[in-house]
Amino acid sequence: MSTDYQYESKPALIKGDHSFGSITDMIAKTPLSPTPKLWYLAFGLSNVLLIILLGAIGYLVWDGTGIWGLNNPAGWGWAIINFVWWVGIGHAGTLISAILFLFRQGWRTAINRFAEAMTIFAVMCAGIFPAIHVGRIWVIYWVFPIPNQMAAWPNFSSPLLWDVFAVSTYFTVSLLFWYVGLIPDLATLRDKAKSKIAKISYGIAALGWTGSFRNWWHYEKAYMILAGLATPLVLSVHTIVSFDFAVSVIPGWHSTIFPPYFVAGAIYSGFAMVLTLMLIARKIYKLEDIMNIDIMEKMNLVMMVTGNLVAFAYLMEGFIAWYSGYIYEQGIFWLYVVGPYAWGFWILMFCNVITPQFLWFKKIRRNVGLTFVISIIVNIGMWFERFMIAVASLSTDFMPSSWDYFSPTFWDIITYIGTFGLFFTFFLLFLRFLPMVAIAEVKGVMPQADPHNYDEDSKEFDASKTEPVMVQQEQTV
Amino acid sequence: MEADNRQIYGVLAEFRNPKELVDAAESVKNSGYSDFDTYAPFPIHGMEKAMGVKKSPLGWIVLSGALIGMVGALALMVWVMGYEYPMNISGKPFINIPIYVPITFELTVLLAAFAATFGMIGLNKLPRFNNPLFNVERFEKASDDGFFVCIEASDDLFAEEKAEKLFRSNGATHIETVYDSE
């Protein structure tokens, strides 16, 4: 018996009828044309928020961490929640640029530049929080192993110090990876630019790149190695962030499920943030051919998988609390569900357990409006996840006599809102002056880029060659 | 003539598409040239075979970066925690290798990434302030949608007419002699 298999051709990664030249024009046009008015408006708003952030930090340095809502059991509040939330968002960028590269997922080229930029700016926002949380920021250099006047050295066995190394390495490697990816595109902008200032600035940044194959050869190797290095790195960063909690003995924190659960949650929230930004940018900059619905659907699938992993982790926490027979663990889980922060728990359940279930439906995965709404809900949910972990576990610890309810102050809130100013200031500068899609990589995944898709004699592009050769199956009984 | 005072850098030919470029590169290699290069807006699959490019030594540079990071991190932590500034933390041993794993890993990755980035830039002899190819106006297309081959004058077999003939037989759409800047 034989079964008839029908070959279904894969949808093209780039929609519309595009040549290499039209791809260049579509992407390079934005950084090289005059600034739109809407950009000034958005940039102005971001700058206002950024100034608010700087003011909030200034007051914090002046007055100390007492301006925040921290109290005696809850020594970690919004600052740590925001730190974990922003770092988590960054993870999608590295996943898209490194892990999907190693898995040869051509669709990543539509969003990788964009997502990597988001990573870098999100990690910048994240890094601010632990730094200002130390209270005496003028001696922050004590966290680095630098010989100092007291002949003291940092404690290398502390997870908080691991975090310093993890986040700073993550930032540096993401920046290097991003820049390496930018070099050929900066050369494109250098060659396309008309104004002298633009030509010189892009020219310096492009380092004299010519597109020589002998250069591409080392370049591709470097890119692959960087992807290989960034892959374990991205998994390690949120693992180490989770150690900040898991290595302590607080019930609700002391758990081996934290590393994988944090990583899954990070990718979940990161993809949501990339979607939020992408759905706006593709509309404004008319990049619907590149950042198309197929790519949105694939990202929704990643969100569905990681969202369900996170939901499974919640179930597992409850199960382990019961199965461990450890009353404090059981107590804290019960307190999540019905305790003083139960409202947070149920928001979390709605956002992170119920919402991803909508993504089982293809219609919803391919609907731009609904995806946008879901991406926002996911980001809210992931913020509440960190809120429950950081605040709910701390403020109701072993002894009810030491419990205290945590509420944020005005300064907590505006510092958090202010980080959006920092994020969007940089993100808008990126959208304005750099190619927001990796031009060379998009060209590289077009069927016209592969010499095998050309006719041997006429040397013309032959679309039929992009399909695999059909082999007639022999009838076997 | 003005051109006589200038040094010839090479002969540049433009081709229509990646397929023609690969075929042209192969025939240039088979004609015995070694100082030549192809230029395209993206890396072309199979070009390394057509041009006979050797394996990139970048992996070794990265490996040495990674080893320096790993050994350096371990040495720093063992020295600080064991000898320079021992701290008794809940009675744990001073030299406690498992606890050094996260920072060792991070510094290994960090130095390897620096080696990969700067190794690549170094192997490509970048940054470069000028390149004779930039004197050619149409070479701007190399970062957009142009596909070029250049046989360089430094090659022992180089002769302007011979190179032009070879390119023409491969169907070049445009051939131009490149001069060094004065």
pLDDT single digits (tens) B75-131: 999 999 999 999 888 888 899 899 999 999 999 999 999 999 999 999 999 898 888
Structure-derived torsion over alpha carbons of residues A38, A43, A49, A55, reported in degrees to the nearest 10:
-150
Q: Quote the pLDDT of residue A476.
A: 59
Residue A149 has pLDDT above 90, yes or no: no
> Which residues in chain A are contacts of B89 at CB distance < 8 A?
155, 157
Distance CA A200, CA B134 (A): 14
Evaluated on CA atoms A258, A262, A263, A265, the torsion sign reads positive
CB contact under 8 A, A452 and B46: yes
Distance CA B120, CA B61 (A): 9
SS3 of residue B115 by DSSP: helix
Q: Beta B8-15 vs B147-152: how paired, if at all?
A: antiparallel
**% chain A with pLDDT above 70:** 96
**How near does any CA of chain B get to the CA of A375, in Å?**
31
pLDDT single digits (tens) A346-384: 999 999 999 999 999 999 999 999 999 999 999 999 999
Q: Which residues partner with B174 through β-bridges? A: B14
pLDDT single digits (tens) B6-35: 789 999 999 999 999 999 999 999 999 999
User: CA dist B75 to A113, A161, A357, Å?
Assistant: 37, 17, 49
Q: Do the Cβ atoms of B177 and B30 come closer than 8 Å?
A: no
Query: Which value does ipTM take for this structure?
Result: 0.93
User: CA dist A19 to A288, B16, B105, Å?
Assistant: 16, 12, 44
- Tokens 């990071």 correspond to B69
Nearest Cα neighbor of B62 from B104, B120, B124 is: B120
pLDDT bin (cut points 50, 70, 90) of residue A12 is: confident
List phi, psi (to 5°) of A3. Answer: -105, 145
> Which residues in chain A are contacts of B171 at CB distance < 8 A?
459
Identify from B81, B117, B118, B140 which residue to disrupt to test chain A contact, counting A C-beta atoms within 10 A and taking the largest count: B117
CB contact under 8 A, B47 and A213: yes
CA nearest A214 in B: which residue? Answer: B37
Distance CA A189, CA A32 (A): 8
Q: Quote the pLDDT of residue A475.
A: 60
What one-letter code names the amino acid at A364? I
Give CA A336 to chain center in angstroms.
Answer: 28
Peptide bond preceding B132: is omega within 30 degrees of 0, i.e. cis?
A: no
List chain B domain ranges: 8-55+133-179, 57-124
Half-sphere exposure of A254 toward its Cβ, with a 13 Å CA cutoff? 11
**How near does any CA of chain B get to the CA of A463, in Å?**
14
Q: Do the Cβ atoms of A52 and A103 come closer than 8 Å?
A: no
Q: Which residues partner with B37 through β-bridges? A: B150
Distance CA A155, CA A163 (A): 12
CB contact under 8 A, B109 and A192: no
> Which residues in chain A are contacts of B59 at CB distance < 8 A?
221, 225
pLDDT single digits (tens) A276-299: 999 999 999 888 888 999 999 999
Average pLDDT value over all residues in chain A? 91
**How near does any CA of chain B get to the CA of A19, in Å?**
8
Distance CA A311, CA B155 (A): 64
Distance CA A13, CA A291 (A): 9
